[in-house]
């Protein structure tokens, strides 16, 4: 029996074999088609219930199988799974197109849509109807047949190209190993980092130390290693991922993806891919995005240039460095930060044992939203590192299942993300609760030390947990509007707002205790964390803006005549570059957010959401960071509402007004 085709509540990981996936996809797609056909061929007059609602609940098993499969492809993949992904992605893309390009079905949707003003629908139902109608019209339902055929070809090709892009980045990350046998080469590295590098070498049956391109290995080396030549070697390896002209090169994939997205947008009647995407975002148009990014650029650039000059002077004074390079940035910034604030990650890390930080974020969720987390061992998991929790509310009602997977390994892509294995929805009077997952890549425990997080990793954990809460606290009727199914430039609000608690004494005292002595983090360190929060904020802002501008340079214009990825990128970076350019490196070829993930034409949304989060947290600060009334307003108007209403309406209901850009500039010290 194929475990994926049985009815399951929690994913039956231990029973699933790779050979189960294709038959499960084939059968689930056939069943979903039959459900869609039943809706299409219904002889009754089209109504909201028999057409729009029925569509939203169709294909549930296919969705569950897809989420299990693609989550594994991100967190625990192997060559066989990657092969299946290449095979199944075009089929799923074709299946999606069979729905949106189904004329008889669109006719039914259109019939209901035309009567929307006389139907007495709830706000959520109106949103679903609009979303469903746009889902068809924005994906080609109104096109002539020859154009529909071309749209299908583009979508099938894009689904394969995006996968290939991601596979190349992962393969490049796994391929590079810097094997060191001379201890002097590790000068400057804290003991814990040296031990982790030694343990990594040992796991590969090597003597000495091993440094890789995984963040927990790469970042400490760039930050602490005195050996400038080795920092350069590592930096160039990291920056040249999939940019070497070999079989793992992504330049051709980048050009093809950008051009196909543009052609697709044109087919649908949009000037560019960004015009198509932004129609369904708070930002609305590429012009608004550009003016938003450029407004911040004007404010941040003078500060960034001052900070860079300070860093240059410091490196020259300290080590006689005449020209600061990209591989010097993290190293001298860390040294300067230590000098200015007497603060470095090594002083802080003992207070951030992973288990304590997890307990802390749970405690904060309890104080704000009344949630309780109970670890369970009777739920199937896909890797021994995964921990699973049942989540209950203050009345002891089951809220969600929560999977936490926190350490790097070969089959796991880099970075950190939130995802779900099962959505929340209400059907036949039953509120079906979600299964949510956070996946990160934090330093593993060593033989002598537990997993101790850098402060940056602490904020990452809080960030992903904020997304997690958005999923866990979902409370909507329809699965496609539930949880994080919101406008993309609104989705980062719950995650980014939660990071603010990492800087507050009241919150830190709940979990930041020394892993050996149990001592609560000293007040002076908390003060230094707060003071250093705006350290090099101008440079950080410039960096984020440069990524947003790079994204728009691929997607907010006509890329038809682009032939050189690097040249295109350098043009995009003109106004934001502080360091000299390096010929060997290229960001676009490994910019997974926009070429593999869902952030194309959306990278600006990190900054956009920072405006929302700074404004939202200012409200918490005014009333108290654990104020129950404000937390309840946030939960009821933002976290539980998913995509049921326009996000600005939801935000104003929570805050009483539109967000102000000044809140961000003030917090960042850029006013």
pLDDT in tens, 252-285: 999 999 999 999 999 999 999 999 999 999 999 9
Phi then psi dihedrals of residue 9, to 5 deg: -90, -65
How far apart, in Å, are the Cα atoms of 393 and each of 161, 373, 663?
A: 43, 9, 32
Residue intervals in the chain for CATH 1.10.1370.40: 350-521
Residue 160 · residue 86 · CB < 8 Å? yes
| pLDDT for position 130 | 96
Residue 114 · residue 51 · CB < 8 Å? no
| pLDDT for position 669 | 87
Helical H runs in 188-325? 191-203, 215-224, 228-239, 251-267, 273-278, 286-319
pLDDT of 443 > 90? The answer is no
CATH fold of 246-341+534-671, please?
A: 1.10.1370
pLDDT of 414 > 90? The answer is no
* pLDDT tens column, 172-200: 999 999 999 999 999 999 998 999 999 99
| pLDDT for position 488 | 86
464 is catalytic: yes
Residue 176 · residue 217 · CB < 8 Å? no
% of the chain exceeding 90 in pLDDT: 94
* pLDDT tens column, 623-652: 999 999 999 999 999 999 999 999 999 999
DSSP state of 209: E
Q: Which CATH superfamily is domain 3-142 in?
A: Endopeptidase. Chain P; domain 1 (1.20.1050.40)
Average pLDDT, rounded, for the chain: 96
* pLDDT tens column, 516-529: 999 999 999 999 99
| pLDDT for position 597 | 85
User: Out of 464, 499, 504, 569, which one is annotated catalytic?
Assistant: 464
* pLDDT tens column, 348-359: 999 999 999 999
437: left (phi over 0), alpha (psi -120 to 50) or beta: beta
Residue 189 · residue 302 · CB < 8 Å? no
Residue intervals in the chain for CATH 1.10.1370.10: 246-341+534-671
pLDDT of 552 > 90? The answer is yes
> Sorting pLDDT into bands at 50, 70 and 90, what band is 671?
confident
* pLDDT tens column, 360-396: 999 999 999 999 999 999 999 999 999 999 999 999 9
Residue intervals in the chain for CATH 1.20.1050.40: 3-142
CA distance 481 to 508: 34
| pLDDT for position 670 | 86
| pLDDT for position 343 | 87
What pTM value is reported for the model? 0.87
| pLDDT for position 60 | 96
| pLDDT for position 586 | 98
CATH fold of 350-521, please?
A: 1.10.1370
Q: What percent of the chain is helix, strand and coil (3-state, nearest 5)? A: 60, 5, 35
> Sorting pLDDT into bands at 50, 70 and 90, what band is 436?
very high
């Amino acid at each position: 029996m194929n475990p994926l085709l049985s009815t399951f509540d929690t994913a039956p990981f231990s029973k699933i074999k790779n050979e189960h996936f294709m038959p499960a996809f084939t059968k689930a797609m056939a069943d979903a088609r039959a459900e869609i056909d039943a809706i299409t061929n219904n002889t009754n007059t089209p109504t909201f219930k028999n057409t729009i609602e029925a569509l939203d609940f169709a294909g549930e098993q296919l969705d569950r199988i897809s989420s299990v499969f693609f989550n594994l492809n991100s967190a625990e993949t192997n060559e066989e799974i990657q092969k299946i992904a290449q095979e199944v992605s075009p089929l799923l893309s074709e299946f999606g197109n069979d729905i949106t390009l189904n004329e008889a079905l669109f006719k039914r949707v259109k019939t209901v849509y035309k009567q929307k003003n006389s139907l007495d629908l709830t706000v959520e139902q109106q949103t679903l109807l609009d979303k469903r109608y746009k889902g068809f019209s924005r994906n080609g339902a109104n096109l002539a047949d020859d154009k529909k055929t071309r749209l299908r070809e583009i979508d099938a090709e894009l689904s394969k190209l995006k996968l290939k892009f991601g596979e190349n980045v992962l393969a490049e990350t796994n391929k590079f190993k810097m094997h060191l046998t001379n201890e002097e080469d590790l000068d400057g590295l804290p003991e814990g980092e040296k031990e982790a590098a030694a343990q990594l070498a040992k796991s590969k049956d090597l003597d000495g130390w091993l440094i890789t391109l995984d963040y927990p290995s790469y970042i400490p080396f760039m930050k602490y290693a005195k050996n400038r030549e080795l920092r350069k070697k590592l930096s160039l390896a990291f920056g040249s991922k999939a940019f070497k002209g070999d079989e793992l090169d992504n330049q051709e994939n980048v050009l093809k993806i950008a051009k196909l997205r543009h052609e697709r947008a044109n087919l649908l009647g949009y000037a560019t891919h960004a015009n198509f995407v932004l129609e369904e975002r708070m930002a609305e148009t590429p012009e608004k995005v550009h003016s938003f990014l450029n407004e911040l650029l004007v404010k941040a650039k003078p500060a960034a240039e001052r900070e860079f000059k300070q860093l240059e002077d410091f490196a020259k004074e300290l080590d006689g460095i005449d020209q600061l390079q990209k591989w010097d940035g993290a190293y001298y910034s860390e040294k300067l930060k230590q000098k200015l604030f007497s603060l470095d990650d090594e002083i802080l890390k003992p207070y951030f044992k992973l288990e304590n930080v997890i307990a802390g974020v749970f405690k904060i969720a309890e104080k704000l939203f009344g949630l309780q987390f109970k670890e369970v061992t009777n739920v199937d998991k896909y890797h021994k590192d995964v921990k699973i929790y049942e989540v209950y509310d203050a009345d002891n009602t089951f809220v969600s299942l929560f999977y936490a997977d926190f350490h790097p390994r070969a089959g796991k892509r880099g970075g950190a993300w939130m995802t779900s294995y099962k959505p929340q929805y209400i059907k036949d009077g039953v509120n079906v609760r979600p299964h949510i997952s956070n996946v990160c890549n934090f330093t593993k425990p060593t033989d002598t030390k537990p997993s101790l997080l850098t402060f940056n990793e602490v904020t990452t954990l809080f960030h992903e947990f904020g997304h997690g809460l958005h999923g866990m606290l979902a409370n909507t009727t329809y699965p496609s509007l539930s949880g994080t199914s919101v406008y993309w430039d609104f989705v980062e609000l719950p995650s980014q707002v939660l990071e603010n608690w990492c800087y507050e004494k009241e919150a830190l005292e709940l979990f930041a205790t020394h892993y050996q002595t149990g001592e609560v983090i000293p007040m002076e360190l908390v003060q230094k964390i707060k003071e250093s929060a705006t350290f090099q904020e101008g440079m950080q802002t410039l960096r984020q803006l440069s990524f947003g501008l790079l994204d728009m340079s691929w997607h907010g214009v006509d890329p038809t005549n682009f032939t050189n990825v690097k040249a295109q990128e350098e043009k995009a970076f003109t106004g934001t570059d502080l360091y000299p350019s390096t010929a060997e490196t290229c960001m676009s070829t490994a910019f997974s957010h926009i070429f593999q993930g869902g952030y194309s034409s959306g990278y600006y949304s990190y900054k956009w959401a920072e405006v929302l989060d700074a404004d939202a947290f200012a409200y918490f600060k005014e009333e108290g960071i654990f104020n129950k009334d404000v937390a309840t307003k946030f939960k009821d108007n933002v976290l539980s509402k998913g995509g049921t209403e326009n996000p600005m309406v939801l935000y104003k209901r929570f805050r009483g007004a539109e967000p102000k850009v000044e809140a961000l500039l003030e917090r960042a010290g850029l006013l």
